[in-house]
Amino acid sequence: MFELFSTMTALLRRDLTLSARLGGGGLLAVIFFIIVVSMVPFGVGPEGALLSKIAAGMIWVGVVLSMLLSLDRLFQADFEDGTLDLLMLSSLPKGALVLVKCTAHWLTTGLPLIVASPILAILLQLPDGLLGPLLVGLLVGTPAMSLIGAIGASLTVGLRRGGLLLSLLVLPLQVPVLIFGVAAAKSEALWSPSHMLLAAVTLMTLVVSPLASGAALKLNMT
């Protein structure tokens, strides 16, 4: 067990180091997030009442789309340089590999988006009482997006221009996260039934995604 934990920690450290050296993924997601949400006032008008009403929904939509940007590189980079072949042949369980990849993706993409959310919430005039529930919902729900994305990324790994197919596979599966996330942000409570449903979705994906993604990777790599 200790050896498995050490291996997973080393792999996570490697992915975070590579992400920091190469850059671009998380930063591009944040920039895209800011651009998408900033365009809302131009499209619907600057009326404060309307913006505050749709603020939570637009922030969640922006987060979903922004996290989708880097999902195609979840396994693709390691596939292209041969690292994924070595990882698949190692003693590391496939589910553990998927968990490490999802953790690295969330830390480099999901977490920066959450940090940027309060600024955009102010831009959209989100009511002060909804900021806390919004951030709690994002903390609970965004890991599910990475886990769901891993299923699509494992199915499309190795495919040329698989980004579009990945989007078609992943976006419908993320609808429940979006629905419960917006409902949680509008609940005016830091922990509401909607937050519980959102947590349930995340826990379910935490069980299903490593198994499904690991099986898909094994199928694609043979």
CA contacts within 13 A on the Cβ side of 2: 0
Q: Which two tokens stand for residue 175?
A: 């609808």
CA distance 189 to 154: 36
Amino acid (1-letter code) at residue 219 = L
Q: Which of 219, 211, 178, 8 is nearest to 94 (CA)?
A: 211
Taking the alpha carbons of 17, 20, 159, 216 in that order, is the dihedral positive or negative? positive
The whole-model pTM stands at 0.88
Confidence at 152, pLDDT banded by 50, 70, 90: confident
Q: Where are the domains of the chain?
A: 2-220
Look up residue 91 and give its amino acid.
S
Average pLDDT over residues 122-143: 90
| Structure tokens that stand for 12 in this block | 């996570």
Rounded CA-CA distance 195/59 in Å is 16
Angle (nearest 5°) at CA 24 between 23 and 25: 100
Length of the chain: 222
Q: How far apart are CA 40 and CA 176, in angstroms?
A: 23
Residue 161 has what pLDDT?
Answer: 67
51 token code pair: 């913006």
Residue-wise pLDDT tens digits, 21-55: 765 567 888 899 999 888 888 887 778 788 888 88
Give pLDDT tens digits for 155-204: 888 776 667 778 888 889 999 999 999 999 888 788 889 999 999 999 99
Pick the closest to residue 76 from 167, 169, 156, 15 (CA basis).
156
Are 156 and 79 in contact by the 8 Å Cβ rule? The answer is: no
DSSP code of residue 93: -
Distance CA 164, CA 112 (A): 24
